[in-house]
Amino acid sequence: MNLKIAITATVLLTMTQSWANRSDLFVFKTKHQGYTCERWGKKGYKESDFEKSGFRFESLDISRNTRKARVNVLDSDKTCRYTSIFNRNKGEIFVTFESSEVTPLKEGAHCDELKADMDEFMAPGWNYEIKQNKYLSVEFPSGIESECSEQTGQSFARFYYDLLG
């Protein structure tokens, strides 16, 4: 009898872990589309303090259960990729910083400074909105200067995504 209970418990635990892992898979894959001064405004801009510091967004991905987001940033030399993970509570549009890592893309690349700078930028978290199941608008944390600072006081990065899984 104890063997049946142990087998049943093992099967249930495996099924639960498998489901949890599937819900954390990043299936909404995005590509960076540009910047704008209003969340869905047409007028864009090319540079902010973010780009002037030598960074550019590569992609932003969202998990199947939409509770996790992954941001990928490249440095201007394309020698390092910074990846950060964020969490979101159900029903909210604000995500909080969880963790980050850097990946050298060229042999001998030193990425520690990129990680430190990007952690500081990403730590406050950010809010986002989705439009027409295709576009994702991310509001930069306050303190990022851009052409928008005098116009609207807000800066947004826009992404375009497709469902891959």
- pLDDT tens, position by position, 36-53: 888 877 767 767 777 777
| 146 lies in some domain | yes
15, part of any domain: no
Asked if residue 64 belongs to a domain, the reply is yes
- Rounded to whole angstroms, how far apart are CA atoms 148 and 154? 6
Question: Does residue 134 sit within a domain?
Answer: yes
CA distances from 107 to 44, 47, 54, 116, 131 (A): 35, 29, 19, 20, 40
pLDDT band of residue 23 (cuts 50, 70, 90) is low
Residue 15 CB partners (closer than 8 Å, separation 6+):
none
pLDDT > 70? residue 151: yes
Residue 3: pLDDT above 70?
Answer: no
Assigned domain for 6 exists: no
Q: What is the CATH number of the domain that holds 120?
A: 2.40.128
Is residue 110 one of the residues assigned to a domain? yes
- Cα distance between residue 44 and residue 157, in whole Å: 10
Q: Whole domain around residue 119: which residue ranges?
A: 26-163
- The pLDDT > 90 percentage for the chain reads 13
Q: How many domains does the chain have?
A: 1
> If you write DSSP's letter for every residue of 75-107 in order, what string do you get?
ETTS-EEEEEEEEE-TT--EEEEEEEEEEESST
